Homo-oligomer: A and B are copies of this chain.
Amino acid sequence: MQALSRKERERLRQRQEILEAAQRVFSTKGFHKSTVNDIALEAEFGVGTIYKHFPSKEDLYFSLIENKIDDLGLFLRESVEAQNAPVEKIRALIGAQLQYFEKNEDFFRIYISGISELEGKIKSRLHSKILERYQRYLIYVSGIFKEGIERGCFKKIDPLKMAVGLLGMLNSFISYWIQTDNSEKLTINVESIYQLIIEGVGREGRLAGSSRE
């Protein structure tokens, strides 16, 4: 049984190495411009070995996203659940997501193309799995907002809308950071995002703006 276990572990390690190589290749060249050969070369395996683990290039791609999303999900939950107050949970969520993508910049490129309507109206079975995970994440975040509403710290707005809004903001900040590829750390934005989502941009009682003259 020890022998079997070793084989199994070996197999998993190989699979992991392929996924890592695939991430490097996909994030650099994109899905379509990456060939299975590229990935095999990067992983230092034969192409056949890739196909031992994944039935097709597409499967490999979606397995990669799935894996990483689960990984991210775990990390977020941990961070969030270390907090008690809803606002702190939200702050933790923001922090964790920025932190995760700061370290996994490469993955974001893949992640975003995974959740965007990558291949048009017609969704593949594989794509659906990703959307499902995205939905689940949305519900999880809604849950935090819901709790916050019940505990009286958040406004009585549809918590799903809050979640959609917050996640959009987060993606937008990450996207912008990647595109501008600046030297500042992504995580310096935690407080800004926190403030935006919690307090909004408006100044009380001054929304009409001063008169111009």
Among A8-16, A67-75, A189-197, the stretch in contact with B: A189-197
CB neighbours of A115 from chain B (8 A): 175
Can you list 30 A-B pairs with a CB-CB distance of less than 8 A?
A: A29-B120, A29-B122, A30-B118, A84-B212, A85-B208, A87-B207, A109-B117, A112-B116, A113-B117, A116-B116, A116-B175, A117-B175, A117-B178, A151-B209, A153-B210, A154-B203, A155-B199, A155-B201, A155-B202, A161-B173, A161-B193, A161-B196, A165-B196, A168-B170, A168-B172, A168-B175, A198-B201, A198-B202, A198-B207, A199-B200
Confirm or deny: A36 has a beta carbon within 8 angstroms of a beta carbon on chain B: no
Given contacts A32-B32, A87-B207, A165-B193, 4 further A-B contacts (CB under 8 A): A109-B117, A153-B207, A158-B192, A197-B201
Confirm or deny: A101 has a beta carbon within 8 angstroms of a beta carbon on chain B: no
Q: CA–CA, A162 to B30, complex, Å?
A: 30
Contact indicator B200/A200 (Cβ below 8 Å): yes
Q: Which 7 pairs across A and B sit closest by C-beta, in order of nearness?
A: A168-B172, A200-B200, A30-B120, A30-B119, A151-B209, A198-B202, A153-B209
A contacts, CB < 8 Å to B: 26-30, 32-34, 84-87, 108-109, 112-113, 115-122, 131, 138, 145, 148, 151-155, 157-158, 161-162, 164-165, 167-173, 175-176, 178-179, 189, 192-193, 195-203, 206-210, 212
Could you say which of B86, B154, B198, B201 contacts A162, with CB atoms under 8 Å apart? Answer: B201
CB neighbours of A168 from chain B (8 A): 168-173, 175
Q: CA–CA, A12 to B153, complex, Å?
A: 57
Could you say which of B118, B151, B189 contacts A161, with CB atoms under 8 Å apart? Answer: B189
Contact indicator B121/A109 (Cβ below 8 Å): yes
